[in-house]
Amino acid sequence: MLFGESSEKRPGDKPADSPKPPQKGHGPKVQAKLPVIEVVHTSEQAERMCASCGGQLDEWEGQFEESGEVDVVERRFYIKKHKRQKYRCRCQACIETAPGPLKLFEGARYSIDFAVEVATDKYCDHNPLERQVRKMEREGLDVDSQTLWDQIERVARLLAPAYVELNQYISSKPVIGADETRWPLLGKKNNKPSQWHAWAIASPDAVAYQIHDGRSAEVGAKVLGAFKGILVCDGYGVYKSLEKSNGLTLAHCWAHARRAFIKAEKDFPAQSKVAVDMIRELYEVEALCPTGPDGDTMRLELRQERSKRILGELFAYVAITPVVPDSSLDDAFKYIAKFRSGLERFSMTREFRSTTI
């Protein structure tokens, strides 16, 4: 699910019988990924005096008192002056020049490493270009945000084939999750804020995002590509239309179903709590299984033994509980009833999770 609301968390969402993890002290962490550089510290000659007899202290070969210290190497910007050697023949009819370094584009003034650094700072560490400009200025580099943008735009062009491959890889899986959310733009259209949408598709080991100017069936078909497996999603109507046109099988997400009861809590706290507690039990069953193939057999057994029973109780509760027509609780009950087949599909297999989260 894209941008889940923290307000949806409720006391007791974690399994009640989960033992509290032991409290850990604030000790040093093992830095297994860092290289180790040895620095030998010696005493000045005048300091090598015995405190007992005043004699000379000799070096004790191979004996040190050791400790570790995490240090950092300062980032430096510099101009790398490339000198391409020229070669000539004695016949004076041929002159050749050694090839230069690989460039992001012909005539590029900034190296590939520089462009990758800017892109990583922006998209992995969420460091805006203007903030990067200020930091670089402190480090001696005079550059503007437009120049930085030019670098990452070129990187994006080169990575475009990998992005296509990523989407195709996810679409080749038998089960994927999909979700979409609003993506507001700064510009305005017809004096109204432009509203685009971010779409996400995910497999157990990969996720891809696409930004589109809508959330129509046409856009959804473009996002899903050639996918024809089981799609874990919410109740948005476009997925239903794609189920028919693209040959999908829908498995509806329990996190979205739960959200309907969270919205009904204000006016119907008691009735909503019953449903939310049952949904929490479904999550507790899932939490008992190891992730990945190692937990597949156990996952199917637990779903058959426990999840199906919980589902039966929840569907029965929805069917027999009186409700005020057109209320928020009525909407939640209707959601469960409408998407029942998709909501219980996870219990019939071991291949996928009960939620897009």
Q: pLDDT by residue for the chain (357 residues), tens digit each?
A: 565 555 677 766 665 555 666 666 667 888 899 999 999 999 998 899 999 998 999 999 999 999 999 999 999 999 999 999 999 999 999 999 999 999 999 999 999 999 999 999 999 999 999 999 999 999 999 999 999 999 999 999 999 999 999 999 999 999 999 999 999 887 776 777 678 999 999 998 999 999 999 999 999 999 999 899 999 999 999 999 999 888 899 999 999 999 999 999 999 999 999 999 999 999 999 889 887 777 788 888 899 999 999 999 999 999 999 999 999 999 999 999 999 999 999 888 877 666 655
Instruction: Note the pLDDT of residue 54.
Output: 87
Q: What is the dihedral of CA 93, 99, 105, 109, to 10 degrees?
A: -100
The CA–CA distances, whole Å, from 210 to 71, 232, 239, 243 equal 39, 17, 16, 20
Tell me how far apart the alpha carbons of residues 316 and 274 are, in angstroms, rounded to a whole number: 12
Tell me how far apart the alpha carbons of residues 318 and 329 are, in angstroms, rounded to a whole number: 10
The residue length of the chain stands at 357
Domain 174-251 belongs in CATH node 3.30.420.10: yes
Type of residue at 254:
W
Tell me how far apart the alpha carbons of residues 261 and 267 are, in angstroms, rounded to a whole number: 10
- The pTM for the full model equals 0.77
Whose CA is closest to 353, among 312, 292, 306?
A: 292
Whose CA is closest to 274, among 318, 238, 240?
A: 318
* Tokens describing residue 89: 């023949």
Strand partners, 210: 199
Alpha helices by DSSP H, listed for the chain, are 112-123, 129-138, 145-171, 217-224, 237-246, 254-264, 269-287, 296-302, 308-320, 328-338, 340-343
Q: Which residue has the tokens 């939620």?
A: 355
Q: Which residue has the tokens 């090598």?
A: 48
Tell me how far apart the alpha carbons of residues 328 and 228 are, in angstroms, rounded to a whole number: 34
